[in-house]
A and B are shown apart, each in its own frame.
Chain A
Amino acid sequence: QVQLVQSGAEVKKPGASVKVSCEASGYTFTGYYFHWVRQAPGQGLEWMGRINPNSGGTNYAQKFQGRVTMTRDTSISTAYMELRRLRFDDTAVYYCARAVTAGSSFDFWGQGTLVTVSS
C-alpha cells in the first residue's frame, strides 16, 4: 500500500536550517510529483512548492523563494525539503504529499513533521 513516511519532530533556533524527509513506498517513486505543504498552529494549509522526482525540477511559492530547497534521492525513494534562516513564524507542521500531474489532487499525504522554532 502507498505510504509516505516523514522524519521526526525538530526543534531549531532562529536563523538555523531544517531538513525534513519523506520516504515513499508502495508505488513507483518517479511517477508522482512531491509537494510540500505547511500548517502553522491553528492556521490553514499553505503550499510551499513541488519537485518532479524524475527530473529534479522544482517550483517554489514566491514566499519561500531563496529560503527553501526541495531535492530527492531516487535510490532510496525519498524527497527532502530544506528551509533555511528559520524564523519564529516558521513553526508549523510540514507535510509532504504526492500528485500524479501538475494540476491533480494530493491523493496521499505524509503524517506531518512538527518543526518548532524557539530560542
Chain B
Amino acid sequence: SYVLTQPPSVSVAPGKTARVTCGGNNIGSKSVHWYQQKPGQAPVLVIYYDSDRPSGIPERFSGSNSGNTATLTISRVEAGDEADYYCQVWDSGTYHVVFGGGTKLTVL
C-alpha cells in the first residue's frame, strides 16, 4: 500500500516561514491535499490539488508537489497557525485514501 511520510514536528518563530513536507514514492504524479487540525476540532482543508486554496484560507498558505515530496508552506507564521497538519492522496491503484502521519507545527 502507498505510504506518506511526514516529520512528526516542525517549529518556527512568528513571522517566519514554515515548511511541512510529505514524502511518497513519485508523489508528484498524484494530487495532494492538506488539512489543518486544531485540538478538539475536525480537520479543515487548507490546500487541495497540490496548490489550490479554498475560499477563506489566507494567501499565506501555499503548496507544491514534485518528485517524491509535496510541501505545505506557511508564510509569515502566526500563533493561530499552531496545529497538526496532514497530507492526503488518493491511491488510484487500490481505490483507497491515504493520510500522512501528521506534523505538529509549533510556533515558538
Total count of chain B residues near the partner, CB < 8 A: 25
B31 on interface, CB distance cutoff 8 Å: yes
Question: Which A residues touch B44, using CB under 8 A?
Answer: 109
CB distance from A40 to the nearest CB of B (A): 12
Are B33 and A106 touching (Cβ within 8 A)?
A: yes
Known A50-B97, A59-B96, A61-B96; contact A105-B42, beta-carbon cutoff 8 A:
no
Determine the main DSSP class of B at the interface with A.
strand
- Alpha-carbon separation in the docked complex, A62 to B97 (Å): 11
11 other contacts beyond A61-B96, A104-B48, A109-B42, with CB at 8 A cut-off?
A44-B86, A44-B101, A46-B99, A50-B97, A103-B31, A103-B90, A105-B33, A105-B48, A105-B49, A106-B33, A111-B42
Question: Which A residues touch B33, using CB under 8 A?
Answer: 104-106
CB distance from B37 to the nearest CB of A (A): 8
Are A102 and B42 touching (Cβ within 8 A)?
A: no
B88 on interface, CB distance cutoff 8 Å: yes
Are A44 and B42 touching (Cβ within 8 A)?
A: no
Q: Which residues 87-118 of A have a CB within 8 angstroms of B?
A: 95, 97, 102-107, 109-112
Known A103-B31, A103-B92, A106-B35; contact A45-B86, beta-carbon cutoff 8 A:
yes
A47 on interface, CB distance cutoff 8 Å: yes
The closest CB in chain A to the CB of B54 belongs to A107
Question: Which A residues touch B42, using CB under 8 A?
Answer: 95, 109-112
